[in-house]
């Protein structure tokens, strides 16, 4: 009885393993970078974007002090097949040459198929 049960379990294990072994492997993503431009429409009280705090999932993040001086970032992201990224960001805006305030706080999903692409939000 015990031998039959062992033979049955072995046969089932082999039968289940065959389709798994024949399945083609999924293509994996690789690391790359994309350009992300933040438009002035993200500044609800007018002005233009001058600073960005950002992070891409648990994959990468900007400098702790933020990325200042313009409205463009070039974050490391996952690129290619299965490349799903969620970028979280907080923007800072400048108006009247001196007045600076917090702009948009948001998240966007990115699925770049190659490095070097450009996104505008």
pLDDT tens, position by position, 33-83: 999 999 999 999 999 999 999 999 999 999 999 999 999 999 999 999 989
Could you tell me whether strands 30-33 and 118-120 are parallel, antiparallel, or unpaired per DSSP bridges? unpaired
* Cross-strand partners of 76: 33
Give pLDDT, residue 50.
97
* Cross-strand partners of 63: none
In the chain, how long is the greatest CA-to-CA distance? 87
Q: Are 82 and 27 contacting, i.e. CB atoms less than 8 angstroms apart?
A: yes
Question: How many C-beta atoms lie closer than 10 Å to residue 27's C-beta?
Answer: 10
- The pTM assigned to this predicted structure is 0.75
In this model, does residue 20 exceed pLDDT 60? Answer: no
Enumerate long-range contacts of 101-108, CB under 8 Å, 24 or more apart: 101/45, 101/47, 103/42, 103/43, 103/44, 103/49, 104/38, 104/42, 104/43, 104/44
Compute the distance between CA of residue 60 and CA of residue 69 in angstroms, rounded to an integer.
20
């Amino acid at each position: 009885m015990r031998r039959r049960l062992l033979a049955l379990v072995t046969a089932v294990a082999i039968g289940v393993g065959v389709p798994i072994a024949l399945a083609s492997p999924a293509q994996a993503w690789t690391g790359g970078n994309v350009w992300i431009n933040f438009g002035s429409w993200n500044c609800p009280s007018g002005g233009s974007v001058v600073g960005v705090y950002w992070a891409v999932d648990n994959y990468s993040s900007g400098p702790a002090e933020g990325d200042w001086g313009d409205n463009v970032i070039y974050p490391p992201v996952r690129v290619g097949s299965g490349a799903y990224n969620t970028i979280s960001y907080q923007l800072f805006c400048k108006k009247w040459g001196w007045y600076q305030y917090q702009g948009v706080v948001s998240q966007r999903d990115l699925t770049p198929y190659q490095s070097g692409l450009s996104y505008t939000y």
